[in-house]
Amino acid sequence: MHRQMKTAMKASYRIIVFLLFLAPLYGRAADARSYYEEGKALREKGEQVAAMRAFIRATHCETDNESLLGRVYSNMANMCRQANDHETAFEVYALSTAHFAKSYDSLTYAYALNNMAWEQAAMGHKPQALALVDSAVSCYPYYPLTEKVIETKAAACFFTQEYDSVLYYTATSHGSDYLLMLRAQAFSFLQIDDSASVYAKQLLPRTTNPFYLDDLYYILTHNDAAADKETLLRLSSERADVQKHIKERHGQLTLAVNLLQQELNPEEPTRPVWFILLIVCGLALLGWLIFVAWQQHQLRTEKAKFEQTRIKELNDNRQLLLESEDIRQELEWNDFDALCQEINKRFHGLAATLQAQDLNEQDIRICILVLIGLSHKEIAEMLNCSPKSIGKLKDLTARKLGVSGGQLQTKLEKITLL
């Protein structure tokens, strides 16, 4: 008991020393590029808030790589755009532009200016958007920027409801998905449904952007001759599938943008008035850390004992069945309900857990035999089929549980020990 308290106090002392002295040094020494790569990876996984934290950490690192910082701010601004917070997106794109200007890369600088222009267009500020577009073109008047410039000009006209101008700009495009979508929408708002349907049908088989689905569905359903019922049913089903995902993603993006806004507009820190209050708070924190460390130690000890007991029980049951002269008789194999009851009793509700994961009767039988530890040949004899079939059935069952065939036994053991 005395030794455990002493260990907890040492751990608490190290934490306090790290927070007071080492943490600021660690933050300054961190690699901005690693945070940037971490943020990109988290964005791809859909973890928007964690990605924003990684990008913010990258901006706190000391680095001379202006191009890297420009890309960091560009990613953060893109997340604001996806959350429909165009004011914050414009502000962060401006920071990105400032860093790209110092990197002496005319293409990335021009792209950053064009991104600022698009945000101004989304806010309905067409003159400011066109002025920024002109600045971008003067920096880099070549392809591929010219295509993006056309998109921004068309968007500026679309957001100000100048649909004839939208048609003018989109007519000169090379047919990017975004320009096709704008053209279809412009024809739709001008109530030229046949032309809107033509471009909507061109875009439908080639786009993977879920945000276009609502507009495409609206356009095609307002023209009875535009699409067959099968296409409309498929489109309606796809819309229903992505709506929930988009809503969750937008919620995460909103939280991420709120985190960024707190970083851009930090509140004034409140300073302690009395030195004695700081001492009392420090002692209270130390006592709390010691208590937490002790509690965690107790929980880990109890958890370890419980896991050891469950593992021993699992191995004992498995060994008893392996040594049984007739496993069928032991488990009442021909009666599936009786089999499930016996497995639930021996392996802590395993059969019920597998049934809740939509595994069928054959899948559950395969899982039971794999967990017991029988070979493919032994399983084939139990189920009256060939060992090759068992390999395929095992792989299919494992896939339903999200693992490979070789990992199925480990997965079942983890389920049993939960």
Q: Is the pLDDT of residue 90 over 90?
A: yes
* pLDDT of res. 116: 92
Taking only the tens place, the pLDDT of each residue in 213-271 is 777 777 777 765 555 666 666 666 666 666 666 677 778 888 888 888 888 887 655 55
E runs forming strands in 231-301:
none
- Residue 175 corresponds to which amino acid? G
Nearest one of 47, 46, 48, 72 to 59, comparing CA atoms: 72
In this prediction, residue 175 has a pLDDT band, given cuts at 50, 70 and 90, of low
Those residues with Cβ within 8 angstroms of residue 235's Cβ, 6 or more apart along the chain or in another chain: 204, 213, 216, 217, 220, 227
Taking only the tens place, the pLDDT of each residue in 292-343 is 988 888 888 888 888 888 888 888 888 888 888 788 888 888 888 888 998 8
Over range 83-100, report the average pLDDT.
90
* pLDDT of res. 170: 83
Full DSSP string of 334-399: T-HHHHHHHHHHHTTSHHHHHHHTT--HHHHHHHHHHHHT--HHHHHHHHTS-HHHHHHHHHHHHH
* pLDDT of res. 94: 92
Taking only the tens place, the pLDDT of each residue in 41-60 is 998 888 888 999 999 999 88
Taking only the tens place, the pLDDT of each residue in 100-119 is 888 877 888 888 889 998 89
**373 phi-psi bin (left φ>0, alpha ψ -120 to 50, beta other):** left
Q: Which of 16-30, 158-172, 206-220, 353-367 has the lowest mean pLDDT?
A: 16-30
Counting residues of the chain whose pLDDT is more than 70, the rounded percentage is: 83
Whether pTM > 0.75 for this model: the answer is no
CA gap 68, 66 in Å, rounded: 5
Radius of gyration of the chain (CA): 31
Over range 171-200, report the average pLDDT.
80
Over range 119-137, report the average pLDDT.
90
In this prediction, residue 1 has a pLDDT band, given cuts at 50, 70 and 90, of very low
Over range 202-212, report the average pLDDT.
74
Task: Choose between 266 and 169: higher pLDDT.
Answer: 169
CA gap 369, 377 in Å, rounded: 11
Contact at 8 Å (CB) between 373 and 359? Answer: no
* pLDDT of res. 26: 45
Taking only the tens place, the pLDDT of each residue in 62-89 is 888 888 999 999 999 998 888 888 999 8
CA gap 292, 299 in Å, rounded: 10
Q: Is the pLDDT of residue 16 over 80?
A: no
Counting residues of the chain whose pLDDT is more than 90, the rounded percentage is: 9
CA gap 114, 153 in Å, rounded: 10
* pLDDT of res. 223: 65
Task: Choose between 125 and 191: higher pLDDT.
Answer: 125
In this prediction, residue 27 has a pLDDT band, given cuts at 50, 70 and 90, of very low
Question: What are 291's two structure tokens?
Answer: 């208590």
CA gap 130, 141 in Å, rounded: 15
**14 phi-psi bin (left φ>0, alpha ψ -120 to 50, beta other):** alpha
* pLDDT of res. 226: 55
Task: Choose between 135 and 5: higher pLDDT.
Answer: 135
Mean of per-residue pLDDT scores for the chain: 81
Q: Which of 162-171, 209-218, 377-386 has the lowest mean pLDDT?
A: 209-218
* pLDDT of res. 415: 86
